Amino acid sequence: MHKIITLTLLALAGFLTPAAGQDLVRLQKLQQIIQNEKEKVQVINFWATWCAPCVKELPLLEKLKADQPGIAVRLISMDMDLDPDPEKVRRFAARKKIQSQVLILDERNPNQWIDQIAKEWSGALPATLVINNKTGKRKFVEKELHEGDLEKLIAAVQ
Amino acid sequence: MKRLMFSFAVFVALASWAPVKNGYEVGDTAADFKLKNVDGKMVSLSDWKDAKGFIVIFDCNTCPYSKAYNERIIALNSKYASNGFPVVAINSNDASASSGDSFEKMIDYAKKKGYTFPYLVDESQSVARAFGATNTPHVFVLNRVGAELKVAYIGTIDDSPRDASGVSKRYVEEAVDALLAGKPVAQTKTKAIGCGIKWKNS
């Protein structure tokens, strides 16, 4: 009986949210996304819904996304590290009407993957990586962004 | 004059060569500090005459990771204080940026959680800067070697912030166990996702 209910619920969940899951990425997939972006400069922001300074700097990233279509803004949620429910992130993104791409990193042991994203990163949030695959230049900051910071970082990877 | 100019040039060259230090690395000697505890008394590491070392943890009231690790930090002190490695917790968050981390709130929090170890306020943030702490909770295991305190481990408590039952690597416990057994620490540095320390004017 239990099994039937579970299966029904699973089927229903799948039916109601057909696209759910595509925003959940493992490290390898995230690295592929970053590497495959050949045209645009990427601003990759590591954040979480519980992180107050992250939420505070979100409007700066959203403004960049709106003003500069030549920049790819990706918001990588670290929420799953603490809470396995990705719905919390999706609800948050919907409520805030976030236009930038939101990806939810689905990894367990940060000690195994933090260095693969940025060796200089301690793991503290927020953190932002700016990458230009055309010039091969990258900039990484591990602090809250303020007005004008993103523009400077982007200029530094041209 | 020429000689003076030369000395100056050498000084400039040396000064620019000196590496920029961002806190301690494993093997460095940690400097003692004097900070106010939640009971109002000033605390220094030299107050523990018999300590073999310390589990220094930069922590706070407000970070969800600190909350997730709260019981585990209390358990670390219960397990190791009597063996000579007490926990010393330090809150370096700027209270004007994080009102939940004010000294008054720290007093309440320590009382509510029943802290059995000091919970110190690092108002000037100078201790966090000296150590190179970046997030909370951020652990520095110090080992007494003669009169000095050597940094033996820097990093996170274990590999499962989400739930204590899912832990497979207890980094801090393994480091302290090794030191107590007189063995080298196998994993001296780890990283973890966490809340950045709320710095002043940043």
Domain boundaries, chain A: 20-156
Mean pLDDT of A91-108: 95
Mean pLDDT of B169-179: 97
What pLDDT, in 10s, does the model give residues B149-168?
Answer: 999 999 999 999 988 999 99
Q: Report the CATH number that the domain containing residue B122 is assigned in CATH.
A: 3.40.30.10
B99 assigned to some structural domain: yes
Q: C-alpha distances in angstroms, B63 versus A73, B67, B69, B101, B197?
A: 26, 6, 10, 10, 9
- Does A20-156 carry CATH code 3.40.30.10? yes
Q: Do A52 and B65 touch (CB under 8 A)?
A: no
- Chain B environment of A143 (Cβ under 8 Å): 196, 199, 202
**How many structural domains compose chain B?**
1
pLDDT category at B5 given cuts 50, 70, 90 is low
Furthest-apart CA pair in chain B: how many Å? Answer: 70
Mutate to test the interface with B, among A119, A122, A147, A149 (most CBs of B within 10 A): A122
As a whole number, the mean pLDDT across chain B is 91
B138 assigned to some structural domain: yes
Task: Report the distance separating Cα B130 and Cα B94, nearest Å.
Answer: 16
Q: Do A111 and B159 touch (CB under 8 A)?
A: yes
Task: Report the distance separating Cα B40 and Cα B18, nearest Å.
Answer: 39
For residue A100, the one-letter residue type is S
A140 vs B: CB within 8 A: no
What pLDDT, in 10s, does the model give residues A1-58?
Answer: 555 555 555 444 444 443 557 899 999 999 999 999 999 999 999 999 999 999 999 9
B6 assigned to some structural domain: no
Which domain range does residue B48 map to? 23-196
Q: What 3-state class would DSSP assign to B191?
A: coil
Considering only CB atoms, B195 lies closest to which of A51, A110, A115, namely A51
Considering only CB atoms, B190 lies closest to which of A84, A108, A111, namely A111
